[in-house]
């Protein structure tokens, strides 16, 4: 069960004007799962209880979240905080960097920087057996 919701709704609920540049907003309000906002503005809410596995691959440049019906791959820098929150079932809102954003402002913090979010629909077996030969 994956919910598609409008980006405007997410932005109104989770982002204040001063931190709109942030790529990751930890969860502060009760919600059933993590929200992923791709660079094209499409968004998904995936319930926490569907998470089967979370792996940091290539150091901390790729985070692979395997859910019961899909996998979500997040590429970027400083992804440890997102990994930690996903592992305890409290994933917040993950927003891909939009090239029009001020990259200098985003990179000037120690917060995660998200280059891309890839949603891959698949069976649970396929999601848990993703190739990990690229692990560092």
In the chain, domain spans: 3-128
Residue range 16-53, pLDDT digits in tens = 333 445 789 998 877 789 999 988 888 899 999 999 99
Rounded Cα–Cα distance for residues 82 and 72 (Å): 12
Q: What pLDDT does residue 64 have?
A: 95
Stronger pLDDT, 99 or 54, i.e. the higher one = 54
- Give the C-alpha distances (Å, rounded to integers) separating 95 from 25, 82, 135: 8, 11, 24
Tokens of 112: 């995660």
CB contact set of 17 (below 8 Å; sequence gap of 6+): none
Q: d(Cα 82, Cα 119) in Å, to the nearest integer?
A: 16
Q: What tokens were used for 17?
A: 């004007």
């Amino acid at each position: 069960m994956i919910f598609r919701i409008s980006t405007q709704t997410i932005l109104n609920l989770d982002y204040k004007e001063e931190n709109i540049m942030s790529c990751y907003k930890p969860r502060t309000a009760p919600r059933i799962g993590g929200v992923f906002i791709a660079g094209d503005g499409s968004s998904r809410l995936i319930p926490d209880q569907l998470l089967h596995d979370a792996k940091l691959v290539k150091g901390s440049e790729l985070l692979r979240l395997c859910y019961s019906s899909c996998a979500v791959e997040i590429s970027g820098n400083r992804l440890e905080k997102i990994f930690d929150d996903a592992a305890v079932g409290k994933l917040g809102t993950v927003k891909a960097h939009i090239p029009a954003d001020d990259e200098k402002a985003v990179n000037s913090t120690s917060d995660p920087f998200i280059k891309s979010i890839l949603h891959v629909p698949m069976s649970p077996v396929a999601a848990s057996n993703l190739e990990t030969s690229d692990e560092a």
